[in-house]
Amino acid sequence: MKKLLLPLLPLILLLPLGGCSHALVRVKPYERGNLAKPVMLESMDPLQTAMTEHAYFSREAGFGGGGVGGGGCGCN
């Protein structure tokens, strides 16, 4: 019995992994309606984002600001 089970062991161990397979987990292109909703946007309020980024850039400009190259006095 042991001899019979041993070759089958990797197969048995691998079976649950099938559930993680690409085809089963992936959200299909036609199922992306909910992901396309405005509520899923990274920034829901563009003005708020712009203001926050401006404040961050002004404060942290010496450090490099919001991803912009170089430093500065932060007086823009």
State the residue for tokens 């909910």. Answer: 34
Site string for other proteins, 54-73 (x = CB under 8 A): --------------------
Are 36 and 23 contacting, i.e. CB atoms less than 8 angstroms apart? Answer: no
The yes or no reply on residue 22 touching other proteins (CB under 8 A) is yes
Place of tokens 């401006």: 54
9 is a site residue for other proteins (CB under 8 A)? yes
Q: Closer CB to other proteins, residue 25 or residue 73?
A: 25
CB contact at 8 A, 35 and 27 = yes
Q: Provide the 3-class DSSP secondary structure of residue 28.
A: coil
The residue ranges that bind other proteins (CB under 8 A) are 6-7, 9-11, 13-14, 17-18, 21-24, 28-34, 36-37
